[in-house]
Amino acid sequence: MNLQQTGFPNIPPRLAGLGELAENLWWSWNPAARMLFKTMDRQAWKESVHNPDKMLKELPNEILAAAAINPDYLRQYDVVMSRFKKYMATKTCPLLPDMPDPGISRIAYFSAEYGLHRSLPFYAGGLGFLAGDHLKECSDLNVPLVAVGFMYPEGYLLQRIGEDGWQENITEKLQREAAAINKVLNDDGTQLIVKVPLFEPPIYVAVWRVDVGRVPLYLMDTDIELNEPWHRGISARLYTGDPEQRLRQEVVLGIGGAEVLENIGIKRFLLHLNEGHAAFALLEQIRDRINQGLDFEKAMEWVRSTSVFTTHTPVPAGHDVFPFHLMEKYFHSYWPALGLDQDAFQKLGLHPENPEAGFNMTVLALRLSKYRNGVSKKHGEVSRRMWQSLWAELPQGESAIEHITNGVHVPTWIEPKMQLLLNKYLGPGWMADHDNPLVWELIDKIPDEELWKTHYWLKIKLIDAIRERTRLRWAEDRVNPSLVVAGGTLLDPSVLTLGFARRFATYKRADLIFNDLDRLKRMLSDRWRPLQIIFAGKAHPADDPGKRILQRIVNAARDPDMGGRIAFVEDYGERLAQYLVHGVDVWLNTPVPPSEASGTSGMKAAVNGVPQLSVMDGWWIEGFNGKNGWAIDHKEVDANRDQADAAEIYRILEEEIIPLYYKVSEEGVPNEWVRIMKEAIKGAASIFSARRMVKEYVDKFYARALQEVSKS
Ligand SMILES: *Cc1c(COP(=O)(O)O)cnc(C)c1O
């Protein structure tokens, strides 16, 4: 398949590679590549919101021409380009030495969202970033993977807080041409358009591609003229609330996605479903086998032994269940193609304990994939219990559901200045070997003062960025002064700073720390050892309870009684997440257990030396070792869980965190605190890396399932 590479007619020939570099997200996790764009014109880099595609197109020719004759710039350029070329040319995957033909046996990864970079807004939250980090790590390890998802042309909801503290959403239209997204072309130069099979009236998708290093991500877009208006809206935005449109979305994702792969020549593949939204792809795999001459049972067996399903949440609303009448409406011509009648078809999605409820996508995925996992040890246990009525159906000896704990892509989430410090003490080769725990023992060699200075610099950078945002809201949008304060104007870098940023789902209990206001206020307003808290996060547009929690926090942030020590920063996304996980002192996490399947933001913080104060849930049950942060873990539960958890947070803050943080040496370094920072890095950077995670997927699932794919 050809790609229509965005043209950069203004780039001088000596720097021709810049265009290629801008079109591959590899630059986003390689600081030297980022610097090539940034140093060319800092202001333009900032204005493009770190989007080199956009920046290069808008740069005046003089700037490009000047760079093309600047010897320093050219030296940097040549080094980066040679590294990029070498990276892209590597063909072997050391983890899969026996792979017969990587060209044929591929892993097809399906996800409804991808969090890759601020310039590609195809995500809502953690699920998306997990998927994005998975792709980046598969690229780094050269695991032969292709990914499929949606382009959401109206996907990005800019968050604004109104006068009343209520969340408002402004839809930002995606500029498809000004990002690292390219059209996939037919031989005649037109864009590849794929018809989703078996649906009347037909649904068409236009196909785009994002290059994530060596991993291609194909994005489907229904917003094209060929489709009738209702169809055009299918991919407009993530997770629509209307059940029928949502079903149509999942039909396009699973069935359309498989058809897209077929059209670009990827015919046989191992399927990895990141959550159940794309589970219809399993049906399409069965249909394909049946077309090859197998009967339903044999086809199903083949599909089971070549499919991986990762479930991501124990929260019931996270599992789609569709009414039977809608299933009938969209699938009545599909089940004959599988050789099934209506009853046998609907049964595939029935939950044995609740067969009336409808067609359950998680149940479908669990039934039709042999390799199943939760995303932390605890979540594995919870999922085994949650779906236990299904296990009676399993063949002897097959394990019900395993766990592979999530991890984060270290090159993406580690701050460049921190990376430089690590280069100095861990040796320049540490990144290549970063999932080896021994590498991280060398952290102890870093002088406390150096780590502290680096952290403090990042904290100032965070607070500067927040103040700059509020300054612009004040100067340009003339917002109410109390919102300027609430946005973080009075934040002070010398004050102990907690960070809480994530989606405002109610189970995450963003407002837990407000449980005893007087006790909290005492800590915030302490003359000598004060505390401040930075909040950020979006509520789903249809989630009013989530918005009420958010409003409560904004109103607290505006309340003069809080002294400006509470901030709510608008529009949480990848960019703000980077600032926060690099720059706060403590990362706060307060879900109602066991609702947090894994959680990943705390890992991002820990890798940068920011320890967690977290409820014992998700990854923290595996990650906490008594030295690398704090656990909210006590015996009182049930009736007054919120109150008991909040009291424990206050106790830990008052007795442990605050005294330790403010206990500084004569040189102004809190040595005991820095010890915890070092332990936080050591305890997370190898084990909770996406590298460890992807290797586990390869060992436990991919290697075995790929054998099955290649046998057939
Ligand atoms: C990492 C990340 C998340 C997920 O964080 P959780 O701790 O799993 O809630 C959500 N949004 C953004 C922008 C992120 O970077």
pLDDT tens column, 182-208: 999 999 999 999 999 877 888 999 999
DSSP string, 489-541: TT--TTSEEEEEES---GGG-TTGGGSSHHHHHHHHT-SSS-EEEEEE----T
Q: Distance between CA atoms of 404 and 693, rounded to whole angstroms?
A: 7
pLDDT at 668: 94
pLDDT at 100: 60
Pocket of ligand 1 (CB under 6 A): 125-126, 129, 502, 572-574, 577, 599-602, 604
Same domain for 629 and 551: yes
Name 91's Cβ contacts closer than 8 Å, sequence gap at least 6: 102, 142
Same domain for 559 and 661: yes
Model confidence at 697: pLDDT above 90? yes
Q: Distance between CA atoms of 615 and 508, rounded to whole angstroms?
A: 10
Q: Which of 120, 576, 601, 608 to mutate to test the pocket of ligand 1 (most atoms within 8 A of CB)?
A: 601
The Å distance, Cα 491 to ligand 1 centre, comes to 23
Same domain for 533 and 513: yes
If you ran DSSP here, which 8-state letter would residue 253 be given? I
pLDDT at 101: 61
Q: Are 268 and 306 in contact (CB under 8 A)?
A: no
**Domain CATH code at residue 159:** 3.40.50.2000
* 578 CA closest ligand 1 atom index: 15
Work out the percent of the chain whose per-residue pLDDT is above 90: 86
* 508 CA closest ligand 1 atom index: 9
Query: Could you read off the pLDDT of 58-101 as tens digits, one per residue?
Result: 999 999 999 999 999 999 999 999 999 999 998 888 898 876 66
Same domain for 163 and 144: yes
Mean pLDDT across 418-442: 95
The Å distance, Cα 166 to ligand 1 centre, comes to 22
Model confidence at 331: pLDDT above 70? yes
Same domain for 545 and 487: yes
Helix (H) or strand (E) segment spanning residue 184: strand 182-185
The residue contributing the CA closest to ligand 1 atom 9 is 502
Specify the range with the lowest mean pLDDT, choosing from 170-174, 382-386, 644-648.
Answer: 170-174
Classify strands 321-322 and 204-212 as parallel, antiparallel or unpaired.
Answer: unpaired
Cα–chain center distance at 166: 26
Which of residues 89, 123, 148 is at a domain's end? 89
Which one is predicted more confidently, 38 or 711?
38
pLDDT at 102: 54
Mean pLDDT across 387-409: 93
Backbone angles phi, psi at 586, to 5 degrees: -140, 135
Q: Distance between CA atoms of 57 and 54, rounded to whole angstroms?
A: 5
Backbone angles phi, psi at 421, to 5 degrees: -60, -40
pLDDT at 320: 94
* 589 CA closest ligand 1 atom index: 7
* 126 CA closest ligand 1 atom index: 4
Q: Are 95 and 141 in contact (CB under 8 A)?
A: yes
Domain with 38, as residue range(s), is: 2-89
Give the residue from 108, 105, 81 showing the smallest Cα distance to 216.
108
Give the residue from 250, 230, 237 showing the smallest Cα distance to 359.
250
Give the residue from 634, 626, 632 showing the smallest Cα distance to 680.
626
The residue contributing the CA closest to ligand 1 atom 8 is 599
Q: Which of 600, 615, 620 to mutate to test the pocket of ligand 1 (most atoms within 8 A of CB)?
A: 600
Q: Is 427 among the domain residues? A: no
Q: Is 417 among the domain residues? A: no
Give the residue from 446, 462, 448 showing the smallest Cα distance to 587.
462
The Å distance, Cα 309 to ligand 1 centre, comes to 21
The Å distance, Cα 467 to ligand 1 centre, comes to 22
* 598 CA closest ligand 1 atom index: 8
Q: For residue 548, what are its two tokens?
A: 């009420």
Model confidence at 318, in pLDDT bands (50, 70, 90)?
confident
Which of residues 89, 116, 133 is at a domain's end? 89
* 502 CA closest ligand 1 atom index: 9
Q: Distance between CA atoms of 521 and 518, rounded to whole angstroms?
A: 5
Q: Are 212 and 135 in contact (CB under 8 A)?
A: yes
Query: Could you read off the pLDDT of 478-522 as tens digits, one per residue?
Result: 999 999 999 999 999 999 999 999 999 999 999 999 999 999 999
pLDDT at 103: 57
Q: Distance between CA atoms of 186 and 538, rounded to whole angstroms?
A: 39
Model confidence at 399: pLDDT above 90? no
Q: Is 490 among the domain residues? A: yes
Q: Distance between CA atoms of 610 and 584, rounded to whole angstroms?
A: 7
pLDDT at 104: 58
Q: Distance between CA atoms of 424 and 418, rounded to whole angstroms?
A: 10
* 537 CA closest ligand 1 atom index: 11
The Å distance, Cα 52 to ligand 1 centre, comes to 24
Q: Is 96 among the domain residues? A: no
The residue contributing the CA closest to ligand 1 atom 1 is 601
Specify the range with the lowest mean pLDDT, choosing from 51-55, 191-195, 315-319, 652-656.
Answer: 315-319
Which of residues 29, 57, 89 is at a domain's end? 89
Same domain for 285 and 189: yes
* 601 CA closest ligand 1 atom index: 7
Q: For residue 709, what are its two tokens?
A: 């794919």
Is pTM beyond 0.85? Reply is: yes
Same domain for 76 and 110: no
Q: Is 593 among the domain residues? A: yes
Q: Are 322 and 247 in contact (CB under 8 A)?
A: yes
The residue contributing the CA closest to ligand 1 atom 11 is 125
Model confidence at 179, in pLDDT bands (50, 70, 90)?
confident
The Å distance, Cα 125 to ligand 1 centre, comes to 5
Name 564's Cβ contacts closer than 8 Å, sequence gap at least 6: 485, 489, 490, 491
pLDDT at 273: 98
Q: Which of 502, 535, 570, 588 to mutate to test the pocket of ligand 1 (most atoms within 8 A of CB)?
A: 502
Q: Is 220 among the domain residues? A: yes
Same domain for 290 and 173: yes
Specify the range with the lowest mean pLDDT, choosing from 244-258, 327-341, 623-637.
Answer: 623-637
Distances (CA, A) of 47 to 52, 347, 685: 11, 53, 32
Same domain for 628 and 582: yes
Q: Are 535 and 568 in contact (CB under 8 A)?
A: yes
The Å distance, Cα 669 to ligand 1 centre, comes to 30
Model confidence at 635: pLDDT above 80? no
Model confidence at 1, in pLDDT bands (50, 70, 90)?
low
Q: Are 77 and 36 in contact (CB under 8 A)?
A: yes
Cis omega (within 30 of 0) on the bond before 201?
A: yes
If you ran DSSP here, which 8-state letter would residue 191 be given? B
Q: Are 350 and 359 in contact (CB under 8 A)?
A: yes
Q: Distance between CA atoms of 217 and 196, rounded to whole angstroms?
A: 18
Classify strands 496-501 and 586-589 as parallel, antiparallel or unpaired.
Answer: parallel
Q: For residue 501, what are its two tokens?
A: 């940023």
Q: Coil, helix or strand for 321?
A: strand
Q: Which residue has tokens 């500029």?
A: 175
Vertex 656 angle, CA 654 and 659, to 5° = 75
Give the residue from 534, 502, 499, 517 showing the smallest Cα distance to 650.
517
Q: Which of 129, 315, 503, 596 to mutate to test the pocket of ligand 1 (most atoms within 8 A of CB)?
A: 129
The Å distance, Cα 617 to ligand 1 centre, comes to 15
**How many structural domains does the chain have?**
3
The residue contributing the CA closest to ligand 1 atom 5 is 601
Same domain for 143 and 116: yes
Model confidence at 422: pLDDT above 60? yes
Q: Is 419 among the domain residues? A: no
Q: For residue 551, what are its two tokens?
A: 């409003």
The Å distance, Cα 126 to ligand 1 centre, comes to 4
Same domain for 389 and 437: no
The Å distance, Cα 117 to ligand 1 centre, comes to 13
Q: Is 170 among the domain residues? A: yes
Same domain for 57 and 6: yes
- Let me know how many helices (H) and strands (E) the chain has, helices first: 31, 23
